């Protein structure tokens, strides 16, 4: 089963940019839809952020539309985050969006936006 590991998080000020990535242990090319979720504060239900089809069609939550850009590669998923706001502070996770359910969750990557 594919394992997912997120990376790239950090501490930034409001208005700055950050790119987080998700590396899979194998190919994700055969996974029709991959997505990003975030959890803030820890323990709260994870919130959908964005998703992308194998063909490259993206969908975004209203809260991040026009600020975030999702992309995917053979074995990786990326999220370019611009114009970051304090409310974007969260642990970010990637996973598939599939009727059979989620893959095992990775460790996530912490993004903190604060002045």
Cα gap 9→6, rounded to integer Å:
8
Are 72 and 93 contacting, i.e. CB atoms less than 8 angstroms apart?
Answer: no
Q: What confidence tens digit (pLDDT) does each residue in 34-66 have?
A: 999 999 987 788 999 999 999 999 999 999 999
Q: What confidence tens digit (pLDDT) does each residue in 7-17 have?
A: 999 999 999 99
Per-residue confidence at 73, pLDDT binned at 50, 70, 90? very high
Are 79 and 19 contacting, i.e. CB atoms less than 8 angstroms apart?
Answer: yes
pLDDT of residue 43: 77
Dihedral, CA of residue 42, residue 75, residue 30 and residue 64, to nearest 10: 40
């Amino acid at each position: 089963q594919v394992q997912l590991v997120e990376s790239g998080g950090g501490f930034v000020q409001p208005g700055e940019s950050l790119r987080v990535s998700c590396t899979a242990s194998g190919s994700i090319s055969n996974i029709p839809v991959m997505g990003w979720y975030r959890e803030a504060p820890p323990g709260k239900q994870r919130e959908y952020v964005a998703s992308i089809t194998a063909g490259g069609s993206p969908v975004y939550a209203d809260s991040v539309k026009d600020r975030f850009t999702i992309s995917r590669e053979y074995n990786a998923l990326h999220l370019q985050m611009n114009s970051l706001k304090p409310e974007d502070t969260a642990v970010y996770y990637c996973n598939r969006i599939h009727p059979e359910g989620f893959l095992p969750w990775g460790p996530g990557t912490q993004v903190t936006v604060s002045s």
